[in-house]
């Protein structure tokens, strides 16, 4: 028999093949023993549920059983039988157990007891072996798969935009530099600055903050495209919503105006939620219970009104609220926390940038629904957003989610060459360096739109995890890149 002729626990739980001889492989979660028998709960990551192995000390040598401690990896062969105990329909009567990898119980850091998420972040190399992180990463996988399913079904093409780029035209944040120069002793120009002409790309380069600009080039050829890749921001944001390395999904569509863009974004977000509800039931149920448990320590009035799955269903089944920035400012001005000076940043006049406290007020207190906010002042948005007739606002769209704040940022793009160039000049963005971007407006320009969904924020929303560091396997944040 080939080594990997094993059956996944998920398959066994789907089929309960009573009477068959099978081999399982997985990691011990717990072991209980009495004189006559040992019960080993095995998990192989294919599903959250453990599978019970029953080991008779007359068949399995004592020294082997001794090594079946929490964290050890086992290969177990035996017969599937109807379970005697409650809690499972079948179990495996072990005929042989091979310890593939021992785990010294004195040293193995994961014990059957509950560990805090903070502690588990310090052992991120092992935390995927817990129920919580197993659930999170299975849901994350399902959502990633659903992204491709959704766009493929709609005839969008997946474009791989570059990870190394030569400009931060978007101004989305601080960038990480990419260089092969000797940083201790870089070549200098006559004027004394670092001579990037001698660098690998013969110019300054950095890790991308967004695939949008390249995505636009693709959309103006293939009509409807999306990107799904890593993006990097060296912003020093130590929040529960920011990573230095995160994954972004950026659809970009020719022939879409701002309303088409919002329609697509709303439909897409609902699709992802429904996909998880349909395909991740056990994991979501576990995560819902985890949240309920976590909330027991909170005062009653701070607990959420809905369980995780009800919250997901609510968002998937109800229309998002659509309002303009101007309407939002009016609501915020009149709001209690503004009047009572409870906001850290008070809203006094039109033009103010919205902070996450304002976004969360609108979504969580005022509307109690996801909100699509449109038509922001041009001063607080990027140069490429399409200018509205009023001369003050642009066709921007942010989507705000309960518990998360901004989950999507997008816009209709400025397709008119003269207006685009004027705006770039106003903002001091070098038009000559951006010649390739401007060529799309020079040749065969057309209305087009797009948006960016922060994938980890979406995984946070669906799993209910409070900290973004707990929905990516190896989080990169300021001062943190160990694993
Ligand atoms: P924020 O104001 O929350 O920092 P942003 O306005 O900088 O977000 P965009 O540049 O519009 O965000 O990026 C598009 C999407 O990418 C955001 O809506 C969000 O979901 C996600 N995103 C942005 N920055 C980060 C980050 N540092 N970590 C994780 N996700 C992010
Ligand atoms: Mn940001």
Average pLDDT over all residues of the chain: 95
CA atoms within 13 A on the CB side of 434: 23
CB 459 within 8 A of CB 141: no
- pLDDT tens sequence across 172-211: 568 999 999 999 999 999 999 999 999 999 999 999 999 9
* pLDDT recorded at residue 4: 80
Residue 304 has pLDDT above 90, yes or no: no
Partners of residue 42 on adjacent β-strands: 28, 51
User: Which residue, by CA, sits nearest to atom 10 of ligand 1?
Assistant: 172
Within 6 A (CB) of ligand 1 lie 172, 233, 241-243, 246, 248, 406-409, 452, 454, 456-457
pLDDT higher than threshold 90 for residue 217: yes
Q: Are 15 and 89 in contact (CB under 8 A)?
A: no
- From the CA of 407, give the closest atom in ligand 1: 20
CA 324-327-333 angle, 5° bins: 140
Structure tokens at 120: 């588990």
Q: 54 or 170, which is more confident?
A: 54
**Residue whose CA lies nearest to ligand 1 atom number 21:** 454
- The model's pTM is 0.96
Spatial distance between the Cα atoms of 228 and 195, rounded to a whole number of angstroms: 34
pLDDT at 115 over 70: yes
| Domains of the chain listed by start with CATH number | 6-101 (2.40.50.140), 131-173+209-470 (3.30.930.10)
> Chain centroid to CA 246: how far?
7
Would you state the structure tokens that stand for residue 447, as one six-digit string?
Answer: 């209305």
Mean per-residue pLDDT, 241-255: 97
The best mutation among 215, 325, 376, 409 to test binding of ligand 1, ranked by most ligand atoms within 8 Å of the C-beta, falls on: 409
Residue 330: pLDDT band (50, 70, 90) is: very high
How many angstroms does the Cα of residue 100 sit away from the middle of ligand 1? Answer: 43
User: Are the C-beta atoms of residues 369 and 321 closer than 8 Å to each other?
Assistant: yes
Question: Mean of the pLDDT values across residues 1-30?
Answer: 93
CA 75–ligand 1 middle distance (angstroms):
44
What's residue 291's pLDDT?
95
Q: What is the DSSP letter of 354?
A: P
Cβ-based neighbours of 478, under 8 Å, separated by 6 or more:
236, 237, 238, 244
Q: Would you say 83 and 52 are in contact if contact means Cβ atoms under 8 Å apart?
A: yes
The string of DSSP letters for 95-140 reads: EEEEEEE---TTT-S--SS---HHHHHHTTTTGGGSHHHHHHHHHH
């Amino acid at each position: 028999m080939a080594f990997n002729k094993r059956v996944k626990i998920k398959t066994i739980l789907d089929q309960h093949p009573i009477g068959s001889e099978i081999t399982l492989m997985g990691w011990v979660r717990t072991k209980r023993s009495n004189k006559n028998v040992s019960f080993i709960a095995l998990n192989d990551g294919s599903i959250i549920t453990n599978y019970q192995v029953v080991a008779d000390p007359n068949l399995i040598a004592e020294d082997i059983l001794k090594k079946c401690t929490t964290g050890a990896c086992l290969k177990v062969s035996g017969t599937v039988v109807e379970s005697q105990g409650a809690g499972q329909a079948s179990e495996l009567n072990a005929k042989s157990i091979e310890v593939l990898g021992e785990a010294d119980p004195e040293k193995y850091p994961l014990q059957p007891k509950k560990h805090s998420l903070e502690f588990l972040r310090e052992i991120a190399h092992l935390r995927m072996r817990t129920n919580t992180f197993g659930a999170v990463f299975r849901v994350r996988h399902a959502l990633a798969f659903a992204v491709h399913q959704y766009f493929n079904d709609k005839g969008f093409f997946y474009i791989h935009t570059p990870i190394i780029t030569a400009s931060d035209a978007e101004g989305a944040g601080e960038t990480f530099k990419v260089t092969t120069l000797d940083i201790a002793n870089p070549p200098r120009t006559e004027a004394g600055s670092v001579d990037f002409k001698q660098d690998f790309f013969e110019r300054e380069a950095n890790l991308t903050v967004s695939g949008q600009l390249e995505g636009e080039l693709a959309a103006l050829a293939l009509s409807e495209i999306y990107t799904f890749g890593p993006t990097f921001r060296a912003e020093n944001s130590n929040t529960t919503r920011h990573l230095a390395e995160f994954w972004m999904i950026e659809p970009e569509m020719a022939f879409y105006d701002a309303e088409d863009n919002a329609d697509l974004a709303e439909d897409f977000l609902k699709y992802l939620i429904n996909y998880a509800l349909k395909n991740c039931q056990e994991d979501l149920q576990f995560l819902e219970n985890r949240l309920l448990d976590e909330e027991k320590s909170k005062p009653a009035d701070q607990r959420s009104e809905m369980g995780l799955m009800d919250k997901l269903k609510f968002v998937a089944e109800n229309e998002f609220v659509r309002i303009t920035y101007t309407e939002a400012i009016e609501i915020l001005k009149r709001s209690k926390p503004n009047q009572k000076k409870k906001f850290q940043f008070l809203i006094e006049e039109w033009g103010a940038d919205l902070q996450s406290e304002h976004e969360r007020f609108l979504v969580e207190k005022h509307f109690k629904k996801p909100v699509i906010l449109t038509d922001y002042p041009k001063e607080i948005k990027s140069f490429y957003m399409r200018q509205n007739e009023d001369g003050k606002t642009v066709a921007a769209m942010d989507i705000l989610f309960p518990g998360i704040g901004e989950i999507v940022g997008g816009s209709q793009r400025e397709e008119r060459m003269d207006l685009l160039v004027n705006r770039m000049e106003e903002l001091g963005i070098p038009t000559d360096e951006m010649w390739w971007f401007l060529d799309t407006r020079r040749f065969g320009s057309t209305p087009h739109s797009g948006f960016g969904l922060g994938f980890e924020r979406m995984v946070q929303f669906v799993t209910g995890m409070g900290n973004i560091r707990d929905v990516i396997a190896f989080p990169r944040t300021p001062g943190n890149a160990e694993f």
